[in-house]
Amino acid sequence: MAKLTPEELIEAFKELSLIELSDFVKLFEETFEVEAAAPVAAAAAPAAGGAGGEAAAEEKDEFDVILESGGEKKVPVIKEVRGLTSLGLKEAKELVDGAPKAVLEGVNKETAEKAKEALEAAGATVSLK
């Protein structure tokens, strides 16, 4: 069998369905006794515990926008959630009904504050973490 370049492998993967690709990842993990998610978790752990709690809190550059409550009138809040995310109507309604839940995760401070203002203007209770 001829050796494939990384570019040729990527082109082959583009032709697979999501189910086929998922099966490939499972087979790859079993064959090589690895986990595809391991590098992400390993990279996140040192960043979280690296400089100490207070220093990390001062330098935080990623925020989560948490919808605490949908408020009295949920329709404007659902519309705002749809505008901030790529969720459909059903998913946005479920998010608002299931509050408290994260609307946006890992966004910069400016984006988080704009989202909070927009949601609060629609009648929601929002917090940033």
What is the predicted pLDDT for the residue at 11?
Answer: 87
- Residues in Cβ contact with 44 at an 8 Å cutoff, skipping those fewer than 6 apart: none
Confidence class for position 36, pLDDT limits 50, 70, 90: low
Q: Is the peptide bond before 100 cis (omega within 30 degrees of 0)?
A: yes
Q: What is the DSSP string of 17-71?
A: -HHHHHHHHHHHHHHHT--TTHHHHHHHHHHHHSS-HHHHHHT---EEEEEEE--
The dihedrals phi and psi of 73, each to the nearest 5 degrees, come to -105, 105
Q: Does the structure show a pLDDT above 60 at 123?
A: yes
* Distance from chain centroid for Cα 19: 21
Strands annotated E in 52-124: 63-69, 101-107
What is the predicted pLDDT for the residue at 107?
Answer: 86
CA 66, CA 76: separation in Å to the nearest integer? 17
Confidence class for position 1, pLDDT limits 50, 70, 90: low
